[in-house]
Amino acid sequence: MGRPAALSRELIVDAAANLVAEHGAEAMTARRLGEALGCDPSALYRHYANMDDLQREVGDRFLAAVHVAPRRGESWVAAVRRICVELRSVQLHQPRLAVLVRAAPTRLANELRITEALLRELRRGGFDPAQVAAAYHSLIELTVGAAAIDATMAAEPAAARRRAYREWRAHYGTLDPAEFPNAVAVAGHLYEGSADDRFVFALDALLLGIRVTAQNGAPSVP
């Protein structure tokens, strides 16, 4: 038998990512990583100061799939839209890994690359620094929040999602119109289309507001 591969940051991140993808973020413990890697758990701390540092690196790695390079002739609005759509899509495809980047920025290479790209495009829109920051936070909160909300349904087959949406619409339609007149009036249109459609609608509405602010000015962000 050959000798086991020397423990490295890359091997540790690979094993941690596999554990999270298969079992969820709570599975990423030193004990379980040691078992997966065939090493004493204490050996992990020769490469990482603590498990939080490892968690940030695992979370940052899956963000590498988001493409942010500028495209010739692309407006700043189109670029922001493209990056946000792709960021949400990457999180939906790896929902368990996405949990690792929801609470706080990783402050590592891939998260910084995405942040820099969004800030670059927003600055092209003519904002002052405070407005750039406010617009950036709004976009990230919408994108990451939508991914978190949509992740459970995204894991279901398309037929199951359509069935659930029909059931939800039907329920709202049976409410007492005296108590819930607006819900009843709109019930037939709630949860129409796909979660992707609804996200793009919300993103476009937010970007419209951003464009208006860029063109007409707005009060300084407090």
Checking if the pLDDT of 153 tops 80, the result is: yes
**Which pLDDT does position 218 carry in this prediction?**
58
pTM, two decimals, is 0.85
Pinpoint the alpha helices (H) of 94-217: 95-98, 109-124, 129-154, 158-173, 181-186, 195-216
Pinpoint the alpha helices (H) of 27-75: 30-37, 51-62
**Which pLDDT does position 193 carry in this prediction?**
86
pLDDT in tens, 112-145: 999 999 999 999 998 999 999 999 999 999 999 9
Q: Give me the domains of the chain, ranges plus CATH numbers.
A: 9-48 (1.10.10), 68-216 (1.10.357.10)
Tell me the helix, strand and coil percentages in the chain, rounded to 5: 75, 0, 25
Q: What is the mean pLDDT of residues 80-93?
A: 96
CB 19 within 8 A of CB 33: yes
Q: What is the band of 152 on the pLDDT scale with cuts at 50, 70, 90?
A: confident
In this structure, the number of other CB atoms found within 10 A of the CB of residue 35 comes to: 13
**Which pLDDT does position 4 carry in this prediction?**
52
Q: What is the band of 5 on the pLDDT scale with cuts at 50, 70, 90?
A: low
Q: What is the mean pLDDT of residues 74-99?
A: 95
